[in-house]
Structure 1
Amino acid sequence: MAESTDAQPSGPVQVAPARTALVTGASRGIGRAVALGLAGAGLDVALLARDAERLAEVSREVRALGRRALELVCDVTDADAVADAVRLAEAPAAEGGLGGVDLLVNNAGRIDAEVPVWEADPDEWWQVMETNVRGPFLLVRHVVPGMLARGGGRVIDLNSGSGSHDMTYSSAYNLSKTALMRLGHHLHATGFARGLRTLELAPGVVTTDMTASMRAHDGRTEWTPVERTVEAAVEFARGDLDACSGWFVRVSDDTPESLRALAVARDVVAGDVAAPRHLRVLPAGDADPMTDVLTGR
């Protein structure tokens, strides 16, 4: 029998909608809202945070929505604890797990004092870096291999506008969110062809314990509704924003509809590492001899 000469399917790997999620920092604030929003959209959710009592409350809320909830009391900077937590989340349902993690939401984070870097406390500064960078790295290291083995998955990093521009205070937070964006872009560049989709999601300025403690927001009367972050996370979990994989998205300006339209208007090639919304060094001007180098990679 002659071999078939039919062309093989081409194009990006199609990734199924997420059925399960692991959300860090899920005990309060944005993490809690995202976890509940994903549960409301039909996902089972592994809830990871350090506060067992608050986790139990969120777990009850998830179950009230008719979805399974798994409580993982864990510090995201503890490598052994993260490995154990992911192992529990990926255990078969018969053993109390979710059977795998389709969507990872790296939300756990902290901020340092609002001072110039030369006035920063060294221990606090490094603790912020560990929570905001080492934590997501450890989660990615243990979750992504399972995703790839199952044909793909999705990662959302709760980033910040501070990841895209310079700040004059909270230098550890500024640096950590920029580094987190680079981590997300690395995942996109190395994992897209294998079914990994990533999103750097900035929630705008949401009313949380963290923002309430910041002098920068004293007297603020306009806040970004957390529901916008939840909406974007749910749309991404469903696969409806896969065309924006690797992008930096800020929900105070972006909506799922505007992002899809932008992807179409820009005729984005799926998986292109030079796609829009990535960190780049801008040329000094039209005559800059490095223009092509800086904008073409």
Structure 2
Amino acid sequence: MARLTDTVAVVTGGGRGIGREIALHQAREGAKIAVLARTATEIEETVALIEGEGGRAIAVTTDVTEYSAVESAFARIVSELGPVDTLVNNHGSFQAFGPVWECDPLVWWRDVEINLRGTFHTSRAASPTMLARGKGRIVNLVGGGTGNSFPNGSGYAASKAAVMRLTECLNDTTIAQNVRAFAVDPGLVRTAMTEMQLSSEAGKTYLPGIQKLFDDGVNVEPSRAARLIADIASGRYDALAGRLLRGIDDRDQLEREMDSLVATDGRALRFTAVEQHKL
């Protein structure tokens, strides 16, 4: 039997790129999939691919920045597929490039709204049923700037660092009821988002390092994050709840290192106990 048989997974931003790969891998493991995004044609294509492989999926057109729309989406998902076992927050936006004094304030804030507010909305909608059932996993995708500075990418970096902290707070609040939250960094993947960074004048001006990384051969396959997230959904990495896992990780080695990572408080966005004592 596939590891995720009789489970329901929600994948936001599932119409293309990393999100589509995540949805396909979850479906291949037996999960029923709700694919969420704003563009109906793209998520319908993902659903068609899943159904073509014998899986079950529905397309739910949703703007994650609108909470009423998210609530309606989850009500439909529960009605058609059943209660949600795994929520994967893959939606993301990175359109504000440049120093803060040159970024359009509305574009900068829109990145934050989609990345952070959208993740709050979906997590808020999914959590009550998970808590009532005493099980569930929430996976939040992060990225560049989560744990370090990202010059000329402040909106994206600040929002993804905030998503990491939200993940930790959520996990620490719900783990006693067997609901866990994880952060996943898929690595540098060639997606529509990165293509815009490579082709736009602002991207060429302010983010030349992206092109250099691709030129140097850094190009992580989206299937790596998708396989990792399927492992998370199966419970393989439950000991690492509240922490950051990476698409580039060797998954077997990661499993072997779990106890050490927990003991040393690794993969977390927080001060060590000694540093906290000094504050």
TM surpasses 0.5: yes
Superposed CA RMSD in Å reads: 2.0
| Counterpart Cα distance in 2 of 1:149 and 1:48 | 23
1:40 aligned residue? 28
Q: For 2:37, which of 30, 45, 49 is the aligned residue?
A: 49
| Counterpart Cα distance in 2 of 1:66 and 1:46 | 15
Alignment of 1:139-218 (within 5 A): 139-214=122-197, 215=204, 216=207, 217-218=210-211
| Counterpart Cα distance in 1 of 2:29 and 2:244 | 23
The structure richer in helix per residue is 2
Tell me the secondary structure at the aligned position of residue 23 of structure 1: strand
The answer on whether the counterparts of 1:18 and 1:102 sit within 8 Å (CA) in structure 2 is no
Flag the 1:129–1:278 CA change in 2: closer, same or farther, 3 A: same
Q: For 1:237, which of 233, 236, 247 is the aligned residue?
A: 233
Tell me the secondary structure at the aligned position of residue 145 of structure 2: helix
1:261 aligned residue? 256
- Whether 2:64 is the aligned partner of 1:76: answer yes
- Whether 2:81 is the aligned partner of 1:98: answer yes
The amino acid that maps onto 1:233 is I
The answer on whether the counterparts of 1:18 and 1:103 sit within 8 Å (CA) in structure 2 is no
| Counterpart Cα distance in 1 of 2:66 and 2:156 | 19
- Percent identity over paired residues: 35
1:279 aligned residue? 269
1:131 aligned residue? 114
| Counterpart Cα distance in 2 of 1:126 and 1:18 | 39
| Counterpart Cα distance in 2 of 1:229 and 1:186 | 23
The answer on whether the counterparts of 1:17 and 1:239 sit within 8 Å (CA) in structure 2 is no
| Counterpart Cα distance in 2 of 1:292 and 1:29 | 39
Gaps of 5+ in 2: 198-203
Tell me the TM-score normalized by structure 2: 0.89
- 1:213-260: CA deviation from partner (whole Å, max 9, x where unpaired): 2233224232011111011011001111111111112222x2221221
The answer on whether the counterparts of 1:83 and 1:142 sit within 8 Å (CA) in structure 2 is yes
The answer on whether the counterparts of 1:161 and 1:250 sit within 8 Å (CA) in structure 2 is no
Would you identify which runs of 4 or more consecutive aligned residues in structure 1 move more than 4 Å? none
73-82 vs 112-121, greater mean Cα deviation: 112-121
| Counterpart Cα distance in 1 of 2:65 and 2:159 | 14
In our comparison, the structure showing a higher alpha carbon Rg is 1
2:18 aligned residue? 30
| Counterpart Cα distance in 2 of 1:149 and 1:178 | 29
Please state how far the C-alpha of 1:17 moved relative to its aligned partner: 8.0
Please state how far the C-alpha of 1:280 moved relative to its aligned partner: 2.0
Please state how far the C-alpha of 1:161 moved relative to its aligned partner: 3.3
Please state how far the C-alpha of 1:119 moved relative to its aligned partner: 1.1
Instruction: Report the count of equivalent residues.
Output: 263
| Counterpart Cα distance in 2 of 1:171 and 1:197 | 28
Tell me the secondary structure at the aligned position of residue 118 of structure 1: coil
Alignment of 1:2-41 (within 5 A): 19-41=7-29
Tell me the secondary structure at the aligned position of residue 101 of structure 2: helix
